[in-house]
């Protein structure tokens, strides 16, 4: 079993957590005024996710590239991670909340898709090599 598969699975899970967070926090803040005080500034969550997502993605795509040699998958993942980082770093200070949410969701979905492509391609090549 390829180590890359584990990193792709972790990265997909992290992207899913980010999507759930981006969708759930506005609802929680709107419904529960107490949650607005607690979660109003989720900058720390985005910073934590970047510290987890970027290295995990880098390792997953690097290991995957060693197997499949497809730059398009790595580039798609890198652009998606960069968009996610831009939303996390610039979003709170410079963007409207709706734009930040849209970019976060799109980038998280794109990054998860890139990891899924990486995972599938590594798996496909390992099946044919066996």
Report pLDDT digits (tens) over 63-72: 889 989 999 9
Place of tokens 């997953």: 60
Domain locations in the chain?
3-129
Instruction: Say what the pLDDT of residue 16 is.
Output: 80
CA 4 to chain centre: 16
Instruction: Say what the pLDDT of residue 36 is.
Output: 47
Instruction: Say what the pLDDT of residue 43 is.
Output: 65
32 backbone φψ class: left, alpha, beta (φ>0; ψ -120 to 50): beta
pLDDT in tens, 1-51: 567 778 888 888 887 877 776 666 666 555 555 544 555 556 677 777 888
Place of tokens 């790595």: 74
Share of the chain above pLDDT 70, in %: 77
Instruction: Say what the pLDDT of residue 123 is.
Output: 85
pLDDT band at 81 (very low <50, low <70, confident <90, very high): very high
Instruction: Say what the pLDDT of residue 19 is.
Output: 73
Write down the pTM of the prediction.
Answer: 0.71
Residue 111 near residue 10 (C-beta atoms within 8 A): no
């Amino acid at each position: 079993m390829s180590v890359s598969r584990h990193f792709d699975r972790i990265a997909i899970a992290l992207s899913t957590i980010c999507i759930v967070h981006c969708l759930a926090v506005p609802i929680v803040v709107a419904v529960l005024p107490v949650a607005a005080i607690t979660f109003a500034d989720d900058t720390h969550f985005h910073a934590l996710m970047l510290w987890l997502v970027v290295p995990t993605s880098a390792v997953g795509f690097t290991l995957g590239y060693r197997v499949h040699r497809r730059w398009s998958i790595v580039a798609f993942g890198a652009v998606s991670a960069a968009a996610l980082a831009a939303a996390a770093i610039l979003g709170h200070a410079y963007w409207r909340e709706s734009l930040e949410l849209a970019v976060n969701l799109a980038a998280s979905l794109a990054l998860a898709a890139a990891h899924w492509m990486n995972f599938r391609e590594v798996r496909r090549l390992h099946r044919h090599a066996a």
